[in-house]
Structure 1
């Protein structure tokens, strides 16, 4: 799978960073403050998406621009206060370390604010694994499509030689807007049944992805775990 590519673009939250439980807990604290019913994992997986404002509206949290902006501040403040409670997904460090040996470079494209993205990547000692980190310049998580197109232009790598790896259907949408291939992992913010609607390979975790990449350290980790189609559509 890797032979056709020169560069991997990783999503951060949910793909490399396991922050699913933290996001649910922070969201539920906001819901409780407003006397709204909390989310369980099944409900969260069913409704979470981008733009985040639409997701907030779906669960009863934001209906106007003013309330959305205030809610975004509340969410980010609570999330940032606890972000160091998060951990990398199993296999993340090993996979990121193994990719360069195959001659590929790597970057991150995230809806996380750029400065905080750089800080937490550094916290985990991963900065040197990437040639670029690209995050948004705000906290509202509307979309990262425009950011992705700009990042791709800066990389100078042909789109046909780039693979994006994410955990949501938004990552797939962004990949398609960028004209790059995409695979998805289902250990993050969207479950496998939603991800499979995109018609691209879906893997249960990073170990399965590493095995599909043909990396020796991951060959005993199991199969590709449900990849369902050719690598994606440009």
Structure 2
């Protein structure tokens, strides 16, 4: 493996507290919650509207998803200001770079927010390419991964994707790359373990596996 494609939210960026906090805020009027990180991971799935239906115990009504999603992001963008890089993230980026290998960042967070955020954190220099979401609806990550790897011009067989969700593993498999999943994000270890790829509890463990 000579190239890492990193995920952002829940992987390099440790934002689980902001995600759970924002979720609790939007569900407070429903009398649902509050969730702690483990409780949230127990009900979380993608697409996120399915997780919301699990939390409510019913189907979403017309227009309800849009209101919940807008409310979530309003709270998330406030709460994420208190979040930082995951433990060991900076050391891992530097170690991989020092070994003469390359790395990039592919996120389903909006591109116009992602780019200044990684610049603010001083890690943009580590990436040969950064891609966030440029369209309103993201959908599965697989097609975004295909475009990202094509733009990089790297052999997918030399790529490992490090992310925190089943979607990251599926995106890697879609392009013929390998994946390592990290338990610091929104998915439970049990869900991650069902994909059939290595699961680690730290980013340093991921580099050790590579």
Alpha-carbon distance between aligned partners in 1 of 2:195 and 2:103, rounded to the nearest angstrom: 23
Unaligned runs of 5+ in 1: 214-234
Deviations 1:45-101 (A, max 9, x none): 122122222222221297246222222211111111222200111110011011122
Task: Report what 2:86 is aligned to.
Answer: 89
1:12 paired to 2:16: no
**Aligned with residue 53 of structure 1, among 41, 49, 52:** 49
State the match for 2:160 in structure 1: 163
Report the 3-state secondary structure (helix = DSSP H, G, I; strand = E; otherwise coil) of the residue aligned with 1:59.
helix
Scaled by the length of structure 1, the TM-score of the pair is: 0.82
Q: Using a 3 Å threshold, how does the CA distance of structure 1 residues 142 and 70 change in structure 2: closer, same or farther? A: farther
TM-score, with length taken from structure 2: 0.91
Identify which of structures 1 and 2 has the higher relative contact order when contacts are C-alpha pairs closer than 8 Å and 6+ apart: 2
Question: Aligned equivalents of 1:101 and 1:37: distance in 2?
Answer: 45
Q: Is the 8 A contact 2:165 2:186 kept in 1?
A: yes
Secondary structure of the 2:194 match is: helix
Q: Secondary structure at the match of 2:80?
A: helix
The aligned residue for residue 33 of structure 1 is 29
* Matched pairs, number: 209
Tell me, yes or no, if structure 1 residue 99 matches structure 2 residue 93: no
Moved more, 38-47 or 147-156: 38-47
Which of the residues 71, 80, 85 maps onto 1:74? 71
Deviation (angstroms), 1:183: 0.7
Distance, in Å, in 2 between the alignment partners of 1:13 and 1:19 is: 6
Instruction: Choose which of 118, 123, 131 in structure 1 pairs with 2:120.
Output: 123
Contact 1:148 1:174 in 2 (8 A): yes
Taking a change above 3 Å as real, the CA distance of residues 73 and 207 of structure 1, as seen in their structure-2 partners, is: same
> 1: distance between equivalents of 2:140 and 2:45?
10
- Alpha carbons 1:203, 1:209 under 8 Å: kept: yes
Do 1:134 and 1:151's aligned partners in 2 also have CA atoms closer than 8 Å? yes
Q: Secondary structure at the match of 2:24?
A: helix
Partner secondary structure for residue 187 of structure 1: coil
